[in-house]
Amino acid sequence: ERSLIVVWFKRFGLVAVVLVLIGALAAYALQARLGTWLFERGTAQRMVVDNVAKRDDGLHVGLCGTGSPMPNLDRAGPCNVVIAGKQMYVVDIGEGGGETLNVMGISPGKANGLLLTHFHSDHIDGFGPLMLYHWTRGSSIAPLPVYGPKGVEAVVAGFNAAYATDNTYRIAHHGPQVVPPSGAGAIARPFEMAGSATIVLQRDGLKITAFTVNHDPIKPSVGYRFDYKGRSLCISGDTKKSPNLEAVCKGVDILVHEALNPALVQKMEAAAAANGQAGAAKIMHDIQDYHTTPQEAAESAQAAAVGMLVLSHLVPPLPSRWLYAAFLGDAKSRFSGPIVVGEDGMMFSLPAGSKTINRTRLM
């Protein structure tokens, strides 16, 4: 009986192997057709994704860039997207931020504006693609409004000049129906800081407040608070630990705060110095004095009594989640609420008329 079972397994096992080989060969022979079918199916599904329109009424913040100027293939440069009802604003636009928005199913063509916290290159070097996507994805008839403290005019003028020739190519190639000439580029909307905080705009139930932070010697530097239908959130911008942030962001549901771990950056500084890279070592040394540690961000979250702390603009790069514990240190002991190490594609939702915080991933 045992020998019969062995014979059965040998026969049918051989048949299974042959069938697998035949299937593999068939798949290889049809690779181009299968690839085309998969691409067509995936594209058809992707083109109908609209993660702005499908949001329930409330306040939402998505992370379209949680990285820094340091190379990190998994993270775009600093980028946040805030959706309030039918309005959508992007806060800072680091390199790759516009592309990440598209992958998240959030069309830049629907942006009502871009808000800049300051003019460090890593917070604006994705401006060109965002400006282009806003125009071409939405057939916009008006330029992208760009809000920022005094000096934003020069940034906008520079990008407009850089893209002026490209704009003529787009219009000539695609036609004014697809890319209306009036919608190209961006327009500056500077605001003056009236003290430590000032209201930037109020529209359809949404209030956006800018507040000063300490990122010396970079001035001006601000963060933003968003209030909509009883829900609220703050985005810190780049800053040292800020008492003004703690005061302005008192009681918000979510605080998205930048974070730098000095102990890990010091290891990068030492490695650079040991390899004769004096300039890189000096930069690693200098950046430690105008950012906030995870522990300090947790202390600010506790002082402001916020609902959740989300860490973003992470320094140094964290290519693996196994590094999160080392990055956080004892931050969790300094804040009684949840702490999230931000990742590109995360979306946090604050439904109107509720106290819940819902988290999803869009990529």
CA distance 142 to 134: 10
Determine if the peptide bond prior to 69 is cis (ω within 30°).
Answer: no
**C-alpha span between 183 and 74 (Å, rounded):** 32
Q: Is 81 exposed, middle or buried (0-12, 13-18, 19+ CB in 10 A)?
A: buried
- Residues in Cβ contact with 188 at an 8 Å cutoff, skipping those fewer than 6 apart: 146, 148, 152, 153, 155, 156, 157
Q: From CA 151, how far away is CA 221, in angstroms rounded?
A: 11
CA distance readout (Å), 130 to 106, 199, 338 = 12, 24, 32
CA distances from 262 to 289, 302, 327 (A): 9, 21, 9
Instruction: Report how far residue 254's alpha carbon sits from residue 231's, in angstroms, rounded to the nearest whole number.
Output: 9
Cα 203 from Cα 200, distance rounded (Å): 10
122 assigned to active site: yes
Give CA–CA dist 155/162, Å, rounded.
Answer: 11
> Given 122, 227, 253, 344, which residue is catalytic?
122
Closest Cα partner for 294 from 267, 324, 317?
A: 324
Which active-site residues does the annotation give? 122
